[in-house]
Chains A and B, each alone.
Chain A
Amino acid sequence: MLTLLLILIPFISSGLFFLIGKNIARPLAIVCSIIELVLALFVLNNYMSGHHDMLQMNLAWISSPGINFHIGIDGISMLMVLLTTILMPLIVYGSFNRNFENASTLYGLMFLMQGSIIGSFLAMDGFLFYLFWEIALIPIYFIILVWGGENRQKITFKFFLYTLFGSLFMLVALIYVYLQTPERSFDIQALYQAGRQMGLTEQAWVMSAIFLAFAIKMPIVPFHTWQPATYYTAPTPGVMMLSGVMSKMATYGMIRWILPMVPDAIQEYGYILIIISVISIIYASLISIVQKDFKYLIAFASIAHMGLIAAGIVAANTQSLQGSLIEMLSHGINTIGLFFVYDIIVLRTGTSEMKKLGGIRGIDSSFAFLFFIIVLSVVALPFTNGFVGEFLLIVGLFQSQPIAASFAGLSIILGVVYMFRSFQAMMLGETNSLTANLPRLNVQEKTILIIVVAMIITFGVYPKMILSITEESIKSLLQGIQ
């Protein structure tokens, strides 16, 4: 029941926004996002104290083809739900510094998105997962189309088609596995069993098809070309939802729908996926170095980080999986921080071209300081959340692919090059006409950045509280594979 509520509340919230007047849109949005957060924490408390049964729910739904409304929560989905619900209030609050037209519709779409993303994290039925996966695409499409910047029609069209294209492969693969189930069921356990009984070649095809969908969504190279432009044109709340939360559907999906379903293929051909991911890391890091615009830089840096997460998941050992999960959380927190920094700067100066900025540290040192902590987390300095994830990922990856892991490690050097370069260009040096009279951070902006930084340091110094959520589930997942 609790699990169902986790999905229902955002959907109900979403509905409310289409009914209410626009003057209460903001407070309502905050309240709704916080209710969901509190619920998630309550569920976490239940989960951690061992009440796992309460969190399962299996209703017959479309019974003849064997589709059930089966939702449930384990440590892995729990963390993903936490990620979504923690970020949501920040994204909502972050949107208050702009006056969006039809704000209530915007929030409605955002909550619709949250609901379906959470749905995809909780779905224990292949068809249900696919359904939530696709529904989530619709609101973000409209968010970018309506509130986006230049060229948005063309860009959203490409984005929509591209992701849809990938999803179709996933659908076909899921149906293929479904057809192998003896009882004809989309239930997760049935799919797992059917998948594992398939021959290696079949498994490899299924793996490739599903991976394609996820690789596009994350995205990793070479399936990424929709992403930079989409991120660039998307309004800040939209891009935060997209990169902070939605991209995790794909990495989560790999853990839930690839690893346990086609373990032999991963064992045998996983190295190919790892090589693609590692190329993605280096390629995207290198491109980040030459970015002139801060938003594009975040976009490419994001590709690099997602690549590392993907590689770690395929490596499939305790360290790499724990690392990938905590890195997903960190990536969510950090990108939201970075996009918010971007938003603050653009609101004040009208540009995010880094060369045109400079000297902001001299004007507002606390802004520069908070921003810098986020930068440090992105470059994985110890005692930031970014380090814990990246370190575990590299140690884990190293155990299965030492050479690939060493190349992936190059990201700790390249990351410094592009992140420090951008920080230096925007924050250090002398001020110019654009930045000389920059207003200092207001309370709302400061609050958000402080929360982000507080999470970065807390999870970096004491990651155990996060690691312990997923510990058990990863253990049983790995047992299932072997």
Chain B
Amino acid sequence: MEQLVKLVPLFPLISFAIIGLLNRKLTKIHAAIFACTGVLLSFVDSIMIFIAQLNHGPVEVKIFDWIVAGDFSASLTFLCDHLSSIFLLVITGVGFLIHIFSVGYMMEDDGFRRFFAYLNLFIFFMLLLVLGNNFLVMFIGWEGVGFCSFMLIGFWFKEEANNNAAKKAFVMNRVGDLGFLIAMCLIFVAFGTLDFTKLFSGGLLASTSVSNEMMTIITLCLFVGAMGKSAQIPLYTWLPDAMAGPTPVSALIHAATMVTAGIYMVARTNFMFNMTPATLEFVAIIGALTALLGASIGLFQNDIKKVLAYSTVSQLGLMFLALGLGAYSAAVFHVVTHAFFKALLFLGSGSVIHSMGGEQDIRKMGGLKKHMPVTYMTFLIGTIAISGIPPLAGFFSKDQILAAAFEHNKLLFVLGMIVSLMTAFYMFRLLFLTFHGSFRGTHEQEHHLHESPFTMTFPLIVLAIFSVIAGFIGFPHALGEQMGIHNWFDDFLKTSVSSVHTEAHLSTELTMMGITTALILIVIFIARSIYVGKGAIPEDEKVERKGLQKLIYNKYYVDELYNALFTRPVDKLSAFFQNFMDNKIVDGIVNGLGKTTTKGGSYVRILQSGNINAYAILFILAITLLFLIILF
């Protein structure tokens, strides 16, 4: 078991090293084989670990001491328990499929090898993140994935826009990371260790008396870190921009894995969050608001990837809503199902973009159904799954979150409902505009339309299958009891996260499900009547919009606001420091002092003969004199 755990991150690291070092000496095919094999081995390993984990407690594996200074010590230690083994499966499984997809998608690209090297490195850091047994190892992964994300968003580095997006992502993540860093400092000061096992299963958390305010600050700081990585208000604006990267990157990093790191972190430290109801409340509110914000912006986006990006922001918000309600396993469950259908949708959009020759504007698509049947079918499945229609995966996980909200706070429940309905609308709008109706692009593009090669459709099919069936691992409690299907997922996670059992009555649960589903179906019908029935296409950018619509269309002007509040003031302040403070004031005083001295010096000019020997003699004389004074 220990060996297995050690090997998981090692495989992708090795394949990264091979591709990175040999680079151009490898053919593209060989590079692809190395990259995919690395992740595949890791996936197989994860399956073995998972099977072993089924009847096994947590395993701790120490690799070596990393940073040790006095009573501070952080070793590179892995912790493999039920929570991490779930994440291992998702990361390596979905990661492997996306690797396969990328082979086809990136084949024509010059940076093919570089792309796979970074993808492998990303998997390595992501595995480190979920395997770390202390905050610091988690932080290695945390920053490491941020770095890979930076490299991959700016993969096509000749475009200035891509580089700016990459930099924005990294800087914003760093804002969150400062929260993480301060949280680590606080935890070390309060508990004397950053170890998960010592803190949680070792009982240090319970036995150390730490004031409630302190715990609240710690958890808030941690959550600030999560906000950055998982794109929550106010640190979400980097994620839509991150779509500048190649589409498989968006699927892997900016949908299925990296952006869920924040959820993983909160789930991992759930014992801390449980001690601070105030923080949990805050997490729930931020999550609900982010979900609403993302979904509402998604309604008006016309770039296929931007719709999905805002959808991801919104879905991540739902996960935080669940965390804030203490429904940790529901949040993790949604991470899993979301990983399947969102990766599917992104890869599907990649397949579309590939076929459209790089076009991403859905107003110029339409009618792709008949040209790309496999992409269409799988995309349809993904859309149904994310919309939350039973019995596909999204339904079950979203239902759990809504049920938790229903128990806890009716307002949050209503918000969650609205988000679900909006989700169904923008997703079906996307589906209809892209695949239904007639083609609206150029003649040349139409001629070029084709179904993607098997390396690309195969991952779509597999992900579609999982988007259909994955929900059953977390069957609703009340209904499950009646039908004799128990919620396996909740049980499995029990050892890692505390569970709040929602004691919903069967009748309430069924009514809720019924109403939700009915409403969603109505929304879909409306979307259909607008975009298929009337054949409406969204208006051009130039059209004047008014009121709320204008506000949402312009994404609430948040980017503009941040520019005005942070970017420009910092630049101005820096320029002020440079031009005025530094050059005029600080250096002015220094030079002023210098000049005064020189003036005074002119009186003793007689002594300054300019003769070096004379200086040397004076110097020695002075020192001697000094010592004479000292001695007597």
Contact = CB atoms under 8 A, between A and B. Distances in A.
Answer yes or no: do A and B interact. Answer: yes
Interface of A: 62, 64-65, 158, 161-162, 175, 178-179, 184, 221-222, 224-226, 283, 286-287, 289-291, 317-319, 322-323, 359, 361-362, 365, 376, 381-383, 387-388, 391-392, 394-396, 398-399, 402, 405-406, 409-410, 412-413, 416-417, 420-421, 424, 427-430, 461-464, 467, 471, 474-475
B92 interface: no
A225 B573 contact: no
Contact of B178 (A396, A399, A409): A409
A65 B630 contact: yes
Interface string B114-136: 10000000000000000000001
Contacts of A286: 570, 573-574, 577
Contacts of B506: none
Given A289-B570, A318-B69, A396-B69, 18 more contacts: A65-B631, A175-B626, A184-B630, A222-B586, A225-B582, A289-B571, A319-B72, A382-B140, A406-B182, A412-B181, A417-B570, A428-B160, A461-B66, A462-B66, A463-B67, A467-B69, A471-B69, A475-B70
Contact of A412 (B68, B157, B178, B186): B178
B139 A382 contact: yes
A225 B627 CA distance: 34
A286 B582 CA distance: 11
Nearest to B182: A406
B163 interface: yes
Contacts of B69: 318-319, 322-323, 392, 396, 467, 471
Contact of A318 (B72, B573, B626, B630): B72
Nearest to A424: B163
Which one of B164, B188, B578, B626 has the highest number of Cβ atoms from chain A below 10 Å of its Cβ? B578
Interface residues on B, range: 35 or more
A27 B186 CA distance: 53
Contacts of B72: 318-319, 392, 395
Contacts of B594: 158, 161
B54 interface: no
Contact of A416 (B171, B189, B577): B171
A111 to B, nearest CB: 22
Contact of A428 (B163, B181, B627): B163
Contacts of B581: 283
B147 interface: yes
Contact of A430 (B65, B66, B136, B158): B158
B154 A317 contact: no
21 contacts: A221-B586, A222-B586, A224-B586, A226-B590, A289-B574, A318-B71, A318-B72, A362-B158, A381-B147, A383-B144, A392-B69, A398-B188, A398-B189, A402-B189, A412-B178, A413-B171, A416-B174, A417-B171, A428-B158, A429-B157, A474-B70
Contact of B68 (A184, A424, A464): A464
Contacts of B164: 424
A349 to B, nearest CB: 18
B629 to A, nearest CB: 9
Mostly, the B contact residues are helix
B9 to A, nearest CB: 13
Q: Which 3 A-B pairs have the closest CB atoms?
A: A318-B70, A398-B185, A322-B69
B163 A412 contact: no
B2 interface: no
A143 B288 CA distance: 63
Contact of A162 (B140, B188, B586, B590): B590
A164 B229 CA distance: 49
Nearest to B140: A382
A431 to B, nearest CB: 9
Contacts of B70: 317-319, 322, 474-475
Contact of A409 (B181, B571, B586): B181
Contact of B582 (A162, A287, A319, A462): A287
B232 to A, nearest CB: 18
Given A318-B69, A392-B69, A424-B167, A381 B157 contact: no
A471 B73 CA distance: 13
Contacts of A417: 171, 570
B166 to A, nearest CB: 8
Contact of A413 (B158, B175, B575): B175
B170 interface: yes
Which one of B69, B160, B594 has the highest number of Cβ atoms from chain A below 10 Å of its Cβ? B69
Interface in B462-520: none
A244 B159 CA distance: 35
B143 interface: yes
